[in-house]
A and B are shown apart, each in its own frame.
Chain A
């Protein structure tokens, strides 16, 4: 079985400070992992994905994530938060091409001016 656990339901940071959104996964096989962002009343947009090519993955809008197999983690980071980063973030796992994406419960990021 595959699953993801997002450790924080809500993270609040000040503008210009680093962002850390935590995600742990559980999978019997080598997974692919994704981070999606959802702004209010919008669909989901892919930030980045891990596909085993490189453990440090760079995404859009300055986000990156590091795959750590020993820790079964795929945390999302950004060096400096911007007001426009305020949104809901979902960590997602897939273990085969024939299985749908499995979502974590999401982390709401608030950015304080």
Chain B
């Protein structure tokens, strides 16, 4: 089945040690999103891509970076994770153009910072 796949499902990293989360999709969607979701909160958009055009939310910390080498893959890099970065990270995709196009989400990566 076509889907959005996030790896790994669970990631433990040390305080200050760079970490990369990955997302791949077989939907051939040109829009990809990264959301951060802390416990009992709504997902918060970090950034998104329209094809290769990168759109950073104004309040996304500089500590968070992203790469999209091709349509299928997108990476979230956290350069120096702090304890406050522990969260579920959700990748999503959608087709561009329609207001009624929904987003398709991966299963998420649960990041723990020790």
- Which residues from chain A sit less than 8 Å from chain B, CB to CB? 30-32, 34, 36, 41-46, 49, 51-52, 90, 94-98, 100-101, 103-106, 108
Q: Count of A-B contacts with CB under 8 A?
A: 58
Q: A95-B99, A97-B96, A100-B48 are in contact. Are A43 and B42 (CB under 8 A)?
A: no
Q: Is the CB of B43 within 8 A of A44?
A: yes
- Of residues 58 through 102 on chain B, the ones whose CB sits less than 8 Å from some CB of chain A are 88, 90, 92, 96-102
A21-B101 Cα distance, complex, nearest whole Å: 23
B105 touches A32 (CB 8 A): no
Are B100 and A51 interface neighbours, CB within 8 A? yes
- Cα distance A75–B41 in the bound complex, in angstroms: 20
From B42, B88, B98, B102, give the contact of A34 (CB < 8 A).
B102
Complex A-B, nearest 4 residue pairs according to Cβ-Cβ distance, in ascending order: A51-B100, A43-B105, A103-B42, A32-B100
**Does B107 make an interface contact (CB < 8 A)?**
yes
Produce 1/0 per residue, B35-48, CB < 8 A to A: 00000111101001
Within B23-59, which residues are at the interface with A (CB < 8 Å)?
Answer: 33, 40-43, 45, 48, 50
Q: Which residues of B contact A52 (CB under 8 A)?
A: 100
Q: Is the CB of A46 within 8 A of B99?
A: no
Q: List A contacts of B108 (CB < 8 A).
A: 41-43
Whether the pair B105, A49 counts as a contact (CB closer than 8 A) is no
With a CB–CB cut-off of 8 A, which chain B residues contact A108? Answer: 40
CB-based contact A105/B41 at 8 Å: yes
A46 close to B42 (CB less than 8 A): no
B77 → chain A closest CB, angstroms: 20
What residue of chain B has the Cβ atom nearest to residue A101's Cβ? B103
* Bound-complex Cα distance A43 to B110 (A): 11
A32 touches B42 (CB 8 A): no
28 contacts between A and B (CB under 8 A): A31-B99, A32-B100, A34-B102, A36-B105, A41-B108, A41-B110, A42-B107, A42-B108, A43-B4, A43-B6, A43-B90, A44-B105, A45-B105, A46-B102, A49-B102, A51-B99, A90-B43, A94-B99, A94-B100, A96-B99, A97-B96, A97-B98, A97-B101, A98-B96, A101-B103, A103-B42, A105-B41, A108-B40
